[in-house]
Structure 1
């Protein structure tokens, strides 16, 4: 694997998508069983989520498909307690996450960290999932979707949807805040929906790309990486460190 990673990190960062880039499936689907066990969803919804994840894996994530998944997700979580979701994710993280992390992604995280680059987890999944995952992987900051909550701490809607151009806008804002030179930064994603993200850095890398992203990557001469699913393991991945919300 050669993505042109050099050992110089001042003013640099690496931005990683989560679903199908660091882990083999959609993060929301990974925590389906703990949510079922907690009584937050029923088996019918778990089956529907698994089917949607299968479509996501085989067809990719177009903007229209992502919009449908977002709408379905909002209907599903309305009224949920945000603090409870965070607790469930933290309690089940090792068992649910470790078997899904691509070894090649973990190696890249380690390489960028050793080079002194800030590590960003950039995902459309909600804060309550992305922050614990980022901490577990030893990443520095997160850019993710944020749900609106009422005075009781229950979900009512979306305050920020971290997808498409919204990701790129948030990345540029983080670069301004931290003094990052985006031309020297790296970004990794599997989906053409992240073309705005990939296009705003000097070192974009397509990971297991969908067909649309693969075409663009070949046209623009971007590196294409093929990550392979890990063997089933219960070993912990990464190390827990606080991740900042960008």
Structure 2
């Protein structure tokens, strides 16, 4: 019984640590001084701002530079997809998701990864930005409010996306570094679920934000803790659970997908629908084009 009682407390502690680390690592563009200093907007990235999953696009870039094998991509893609779709807090699933995330960056220098992310944004991410979501972010900027990305992806990815889109800054999963090299360990947990809410709370405290005047946007019910913090939550391209919750609570819903049907069950639907068809196609195409290249 003692071990069972300790698990939720340990998870809570890791969530708080991850949120605090992410808020502390946030970088603000000095030139983007807000005129409405107490209001801000928080945007999830994957399938909210960008079609597909940003970490998969990074994996593709690493693969093209011979820094990642096809087998590693397929394994990591499955773990990340399951974590995102199921939103599981099972310790084994969380550990597997963390391990697959760290496999992308362990042993690489931070400066090396930053340059790769810059290139990968141009090659694989820029054309996948949803115009509708980008317009919403710009509206907040035009009203003098700060706009932050909040994502489970490594903060290095989030910073590049925020910078390229002219946003205020980014909150993301913080990976431990030693002498400028990633150790393969996280600071706390992945920035997921309650950890995102903790990061937003901490940022609001340090930046003097009134959360009742803030907005948040996400596609996933996993982000309900963050969405429920603010006065103006909005579901973007929502999964079925989030759509139901949003309608029940009178939240705004925006869907920028075309020809998409959110019906059916099973792994195929989870991969193509909830996790994003673009993610599935990236992995599929890599497998087809690289069979035999690296022993996969």
TM-score where L is the length of structure 2: 0.68
Pick the aligned partner of 1:9 from 20, 36, 44: 36
CA contact (8 A) 1:185 1:203 kept: yes
CA positional deviation for 1:53 = 6.7
The verdict on how the C-alpha distance between 1:188 and 1:117 changes in structure 2, with shifts beyond 3 A counting, is: same
1:173 maps to which of 175, 187, 202: 202
CA root-mean-square deviation: 2.3
Which of 191, 202, 206 is 2:235 aligned to? 206
Structure 2 equivalent of residue 189 of structure 1: 218
Correspondence for 1:143: 171
- Alignment partners' CA distance in 2, 1:51 and 1:175: 34
Tell me, yes or no, if the aligned pair for 1:63 and 1:193 is still in contact at 8 Å: no
* 1:23 Cα deviation after fit: 0.3
Matches within 5 A, 1:38-117: 38-49=65-76, 60-64=85-89, 67=94, 68-117=96-145
User: In the alignment, is the contact (CA less than 8 A) between 1:182 and 1:201 conserved in 2?
Assistant: yes
**Given that residues 79 and 100 in structure 2 are in contact (C-alpha distance below 8 angstroms), is that contact kept between their aligned partners in structure 1?**
no
Q: 1:215 aligns with which of 235, 239, 244?
A: 244
Q: Which residue of 1 aligns with 2:281?
A: none
Instruction: Report how far residue 55 of structure 1 moved.
Output: 6.1
Say whether 1:21 aligns with 2:74. Answer: no
**Matching residue of 2:157:** 129
Gaps of 5+ in 2: 1-34, 259-296
Q: SS in structure 1 opposite 2:163? A: helix
Aligned residues, how many? 220
Label 1:62 to 1:110 Cα distance change in 2 as closer, same or farther (>3 A): same
> For 2:86 and 2:201, how far apart are their aligned partners in 1?
23
2:193 pairs with 164, 169, 192, which one? 164
Q: Give yes or no for contact 1:60–1:210 (8 Å, CA) kept in 2.
A: no
Range 102-111 or range 152-161, more displaced: 152-161
Q: Deviations over 1:6-53 (max 9, x none)?
A: xx9341100000011000111011123220122220122234455567
Q: Secondary structure at the match of 1:88?
A: helix
The 3-state SS of whatever aligns with 1:125 is strand
Residues 82 and 155, structure 1, Cα contact 8 Å, conserved in 2: no
Q: CA deviation at 1:83?
A: 2.0
Distance 1:76 1:93 in 2: 16
| d(CA) in 1 for partners of 2:104, 2:121 | 21
1:154 deviates by: 2.7
Q: Please give the secondary structure, in 2, of the residue aligned with 1:77.
A: coil
Distance 1:50 1:153, change over 3 A: closer
Q: Which segments of 5 or more consecutive residues in structure 1 lack a partner in the other structure? A: 1-7, 230-246
| Larger helix share, 1 or 2 | 2
